[in-house]
Structure 1
Amino acid sequence: MRDFHAPGRSPVLATRGMAATSMPAATLAAVDILRAGGNALDAAIAACAVLAVVEPQSTGIGGDCFCLYAPAGQGKVVAMNGSGRAPAGATPEKLRADGLTAMDPTSAHSVTVPGAVSAWAKLNAAYGRMPLDRILAPAIRLAEEGHPVHPRVHSDWEAATPKLKKNAAASRNFLKDGKAPAVGDVFYQKTLGKTLRAIGENGARAFYEGEIAADMVATLRAAGGTHTEADFANGLDVAEFVEPIHANWKGLDVYQCPPNGSGLLVLSMLGVLGQCETPEGGPLSATRLHRHVETARLAYRDRDAFLADPSQVEVPVAKLTSAEYTTKLRALIDDEKAMRELPPAGLAEYLPVHRDTVYLCVVDEDGNACSFINSLFESFGSGILAEQSGVMLQNRGYGFRLQDGHPNCIAPNKRPMHTIIPGMVMENGRALMPYGVMGGHFQPMGQTLFLSNHFEYGLDVQAALDLPRLFPYAGKVQIERGIPSSVVDQLSRLGHTPELIDKPHGGGQAILIDHERGVLIGGSDPRKDGCALGY
């Protein structure tokens, strides 16, 4: 039971349906879809489309999507990879000829063909109940009628102002007198509303072919990209159902999407942490946090060496998540001191700064559970706006490298290493909890912290999201202000270099399904503007 004298909020409880997202309008849209007879997947797509309008720095139809869906009564988890591919003309030689020595986040070369709309359409066709035009209606209305800017959205928008100023179209449409909209300003995206309406009426083909695709291609070509209308036409079918990966941890089956996503890091980290006894000091003890940091350092080292598009290179998922391998990793962790140097995994120097993403989850009254994530990667993606269609284009290609021979080197029609990872916990063949933690590269760290907070330390869903976080980055450990100074001092004595950060780590949502009592228990991260709602 939480301390009702202290700031915070209780988890949300309901019996029939629930949604948790990073913006109230998106949560409400999802609940409205559920109450109108839609299922969890319909509601998730509706919420995501709304977020593309009201949280434009984080997500949009110019981005990518991953989804885990647990249909009620089927004892399985369905995985969707909705990440786009590099254009056919994207070769290391071409990029070097254009003067790049490394991937540039605001270059057209970092724009992969968006996969989100392809994923939405395929998920809707396979598992949805409602037509796309009905699902997208709330987002269309908000785009055309406007929506007030919320505090966290404003903060991120303000920080991205220099990027938006680099692109004339983005500056015209997303800045007012060179500044981000203020909190409470009503922001309109009427052109985006028109594009969403076309998708609702004519399906994904309206996005990947015709005038909308032509606008995106012309915009990218003008910015120096190699993109063609044929690349976008091929994007119509880029989303694909894939076999999820999973591991057993504390008697629970934790599911993730396979590479090119980073979900294998969650399974690897849980494999290591599952071998540790729970320390007596609780979830904010120096021992717990030290182990978590050391585990993350090892897992991210492996990510940077091996994670890439499995259709073009071999990714050793089985090895990196095996009990044999995670046991060896656990043996490297000393509770008394931090590792001065990591054992080599190869090319582990690359770890860009955090990114922007939206995560949401929905459970309907039939028990269908959806874990859904959609992203532009960095804040406002590439910052390149296709003005006639209102589409802000992602910069997922910034996850590529230019080093020949590296598994993640850019290549034609290749998917980049991806950071966005929805999560799903199953128990005895039934969905127990769709969950996720946004925050780009932080996500595996955030997911494992959250899972441990709840299932190991017994914090309720909301408290498990609220708890202060930390993340090893660039040789330091980035600390949120809520971690006690005495614990920070102990981490320093163990050999870590703590560093306070301005913005908190990520944001998450989760819905726990209490099958025995027939109750849904939801939480939404206070680091974002959102909420959980049920009925």
Structure 2
Amino acid sequence: MITPRKLKKVLQFSALVVVSSFVSTVHAYDRITGETFATRSEVIAQNGMAATSQPLATQVALDVLKNGGNAIDAAIAANAMLGLVEPTGCGIGGDLFAIVWDAESQKLYGLNASGRSPKGLTRAYFKKEGLDRIPAFGPLPVSVPGAVDGWFELSKRFGTKPMQELLAPSIKYAREGFPVSELIAYYFEMNQKRIGHYPGFTETFTVDGKTPKKGQIFKNPNLAATYEKIATGGRDAFYKGDIARTISGFMQSQGGLLSYQDLATHRSEWIEPVSSNYRGYDIWELPPNGQGIAALQILNILELYDLESMGRDSAEFVHTFVEAKKLAFADRAKFYADPDFNEIPTSWLISKEYAAERQRLIKPNQAAKRVDAGKNEGDTIYLTVADKQGNMVSLIQSNYRGMGSGMIPTDLGFVLQNRGEMFSLDPKHFNSLEPGKRPFHTIIPAFVTRNNKPLMSFGVMGGGTQPQMHAQIIINMIDFGMNLQEAGDAPRILHSGSSQPEGDIMEDGGFISLESGFSYKTRRELMKKGHVLKDVSGAFGGYQAIMLDDKNKVYYGASESRKDGQAAGY
């Protein structure tokens, strides 16, 4: 029985809940300027800007700029720092890609610092072992790590500071320790379940046998020693010295085929970025073996629609975007691979004529069910830096599946990537495994120019999520008028499927995941068109961006509100 006294308490509690809900709702919409969903204003600075996925890395980049280094120097220093503070997504056991705007030559340059498969690893090996696909973890998916060579290529061509100076902050933090963030603590724990049983994980990445918790000080003295060898011995210390011999010996002990010779013969490649114009803006990506041109293919198709009149929170827009993505990813699954082994029809794939041809396949009220699509897995870091001379760097680096293969070479302090998992074992496929071949890659940096002048350096890390989010950032800014931070904070659309980039057919059309912020009406109308909706968390990528305001001579910076990102300038 509810007494008058109990009823009074119930009513008081109910009133409190209503008031709390009202206050929370009002607070969410209580921005003085800008979109209601935006988390914060853009960062604005005159002399330099850095945006990375970890505040300590951003501060290291700014310190380099303030001490006379340029954007390229700062990007290398920040990437090294991220290998320490965010080993759950990157490190010197992985690969690197970059797009650089060089202020002196007024030109864009592309760097492909991805590694190749072991020369001793063949499809016949997997057939002999009774394997019909390359495993995700262990020694077999390991390819040559290209990041360190990428640092030295960037430094040799554009840098001004010695590597000893650039790696010094990371060496100091690795020895003295740093506090682990809540998000990285979560990823440490998740990765322990995946690869914690492999040799070296407990010794390298735990504190008293447990993964570090939020706020706990974590040290990696082995990585400090490795960085010191690289700083003093150069790139050959990694690819031809003691580090290479340690990696090779460890891999052989684990049944792997990555050899000293594979490391010693590694080389990065300077390549020409490719672009497509979207409503007056030139969007730049790197050509395959990465997936960057998928973003250009999506944008080319969507340019044929009046997206602004559709409105962002509409079933018409989401449906059109997803159908364009499906078409681009069909080509991604079939064609994207190492151009040294295949003739990739890049110019044709990103042409306006081909986009018009593909656009005719989209039905306005019916979701396509039989398409190729990629999986959205893997973790990465993206960073961008700009300096007072006008140099801008768009850099992305990854281990692939979070902490990679689980192969941790003895006492070196880092994990080797598992990017080789992406190879197909189908001999007819473009991305088929062959000795000394670069695998299909998901990590992609991006850049925007207008009238042949630099405008924006950006990226959105996160496996197959990346081309979808690159396109959405551009659409948010150009079609829907958002600023640099709003474009990243806006609720995102993610289409996922069950197939890999091996040409497998996805029979059911996959599913759409929408972040909160899309209305129930939009969701209901999408289901009427035949789409399957499925909620996911943490799969929507990590955004960083810098934009140049040439009129006011300032940089705008934006960072990912869903993670630990920080944009800062001076």
TM tier relative to shorter chain: over 0.9
Which residue matches 2:307?
278
Change (3 A) 1:177 1:200: closer
Which residue matches 1:246?
275
Task: Find 1:218's aligned residue among 245, 249, 260.
Answer: 249
Q: Deviations over 1:161-201 (max 9, x none)?
A: 21122303113322346643211111111101111111111
Which residue matches 2:482?
459
The alpha carbon displacement at 1:531 in A equals 0.7
Give, in whole Å, the separation in 1 of the partners of 2:36 and 2:292. 38
Change (3 A) 1:294 1:25: same
Q: Is the 8 A contact 1:480 1:504 kept in 2?
A: no
Give, in whole Å, the separation in 1 of the partners of 2:189 and 2:315. 35
Q: Is the 8 A contact 2:71 2:392 kept in 1?
A: yes
Amino acid at match of 1:277: D
Calculate the TM-score normalised by the size of structure 1. 0.96
**SS of corresponding position for 1:51:** helix
The alpha carbon displacement at 1:142 in A equals 1.4
Which residue matches 2:400?
377
Give, in whole Å, the separation in 2 of the partners of 1:330 and 1:5. 33
Task: Find 1:47's aligned residue among 69, 72, 78.
Answer: 78
Q: Deviations over 1:491-511 (max 9, x none)?
A: 212211010002241111111
Change (3 A) 1:333 1:4: closer
Pair 1:184-2:215 in alignment: yes
Amino acid at match of 2:559: S
Give, in whole Å, the separation in 1 of the partners of 2:37 and 2:474. 23
Give, in whole Å, the separation in 2 of the partners of 1:488 and 1:473. 16
Give, in whole Å, the separation in 2 of the partners of 1:90 and 1:288. 45
The alpha carbon displacement at 1:432 in A equals 0.4
Q: Deviations over 1:286-343 (max 9, x none)?
A: 222211111111111110111110001111111111111100111122232212334x
Which residue matches 1:24?
55
Give, in whole Å, the separation in 1 of the partners of 2:340 and 2:310. 45
The alpha carbon displacement at 1:354 in A equals 1.6
The alpha carbon displacement at 1:282 in A equals 2.6
Task: Find 2:117's aligned residue among 79, 82, 86.
Answer: 86
Amino acid at match of 2:525: Q
Give, in whole Å, the separation in 1 of the partners of 2:328 and 2:535. 23
Q: Is the 8 A contact 1:72 1:430 kept in 2?
A: no
Task: Find 2:317's aligned residue among 279, 288, 295.
Answer: 288
Q: Deviations over 1:106-148 (max 9, x none)?
A: 0311110100101110110110010111111111111111111
- How do 1:33-44 and structure 2 match up within 5 A? 33-44=64-75
Q: Is the 8 A contact 1:165 1:178 kept in 2?
A: no
Amino acid at match of 1:509: Q
Amino acid at match of 1:501: V
Pair 1:332-2:357 in alignment: no
Calculate the TM-score normalised by the size of structure 2. 0.90
Which residue matches 2:544?
509
Task: Find 2:149's aligned residue among 98, 118, 132.
Answer: 118
The alpha carbon displacement at 1:459 in A equals 0.7
Give, in whole Å, the separation in 2 of the partners of 1:68 and 1:118. 15
Task: Find 1:299's aligned residue among 317, 322, 328.
Answer: 328
Give, in whole Å, the separation in 2 of the partners of 1:3 and 1:318. 38
Pair 1:109-2:140 in alignment: yes
**Structure 1 portions without partners, runs of 5+:** 343-347
Which residue matches 2:193?
162
Give, in whole Å, the separation in 1 of the partners of 2:358 and 2:384. 32
Q: Is the 8 A contact 2:60 2:81 kept in 1?
A: yes
Which residue matches 1:341?
370
Change (3 A) 1:232 1:6: closer
Which residue matches 2:558?
523
RMSD: 1.6
Which residue matches 1:345?
none
Amino acid at match of 1:274: E
Q: Deviations over 1:2-57 (max 9, x none)?
A: 45987711110111110000000011111111111111111111111100000001
**SS of corresponding position for 1:411:** coil
The alpha carbon displacement at 1:441 in A equals 0.9
Q: Is the 8 A contact 1:164 1:174 kept in 2?
A: no
- How do 1:353-368 and structure 2 match up within 5 A? 353-368=376-391
**Structure 2 portions without partners, runs of 5+:** 1-31, 498-509
